[in-house]
Amino acid sequence: MREQLVFLLQLQQADAKVRELETAANQLPGKLEPLRRDLAKLQTMLDAESAKLAETNAWRKAQQELIDRERDALKIAQNKLQASKNSKEFGAASREVENKRKSISDRESELKKVSEASGASTAQLESRNKDVDGLRSQLAESEAAQAEQLAQLHAGLVEARAARDAARGAVEKQWLKIYDSVSQKKGYGIASVVKGVCQGCHMALPPQLNNILARMESIETCPRCGRLVYRKELLDPKPDPEPAAAEPAAAEPAAAEPATDEASSS
Ligand SMILES: [Zn+2]
């Protein structure tokens, strides 16, 4: 009996390990999602900013070409002014020169304002691009680390599953059946009894059942939670705490019937 109990406990431990590793392996890939989303968002913003900047630069180029053309027109007007033969021609030509000068100066001051602003935007865009590059390489590093972690988890899983299968192979079918059905319902299938209290559901066992457990001639189940039970001090003299989370005592109505007899063959 003692051997069977040891195998059952090994099975429980291996099952918990398999579950833990599976959960970790499933959750791991999602951990970098927030960073990936942030990066995509930043990249979209940067793309929009750089499209706007390109538009501004195209406008500046067109504006500069206009100014160049007006300078040519100014030269022609100035020549006309020099060649003017009477005061009427002189008056018209000087008005034209004045108009061209004003128009060129207006355009130039506007161009200057826009150029200054776009210079600042360019610098800002460059620094943001650098930040995004930094984030991207950070992501790449994290992905590499994660791949390694995942490989380790999978290797651990192979090991844990082998240990579980070995333990399952060693446990007799009758106990396995009870263990599996209780595990499915309650999370785990075998619980220790400390000072007459089932550590799975915290119910005090009937004294006669506790006495049967002391003889270790059979494996019994807890009348309340149905878990396979054993006296902790007989298997594991160390007073370490129960690993699995016990359910709250109020969650189950206390069952009054004694342990089932089917669990007493040895
Ligand atoms: Zn119990």
pLDDT digits (tens, 9 = 90+) for 50-99: 999 999 999 999 999 999 999 999 999 999 999 999 999 999 999 999 99
Task: Please give the model's pTM, rounded to 2 decimal places.
Answer: 0.67
Quote the ligand 1 centre to 15 CA distance (angstroms): 19
What is the pLDDT averaged over residues 215-230? Answer: 95
Q: How many CB atoms lie within 10 A of CB 16?
A: 16
- Ligand 1 centroid from CA 161, angstroms: 27
Which residues lie closer than 8 Å to 7 by C-beta, 6 or more apart?
167, 170, 171
Please state, in angstroms and rounded to a whole number, the distance separating the CA atoms of residues 163 and 127: 54
Q: How far is the CA of 128 from the centre of ligand 1 (A)?
A: 60
Q: What's the CA-to-centroid distance between 228 and ligand 1, angstroms?
A: 8
pLDDT band at residue 258 using 50, 70 and 90 as cut-offs:
very low
Å from CA of 6 to ligand 1 middle: 19
Q: What is the pLDDT of residue 235?
A: 86
Q: Which residue has the tokens 């500069």?
A: 64
Mean pLDDT on 108-116: 95
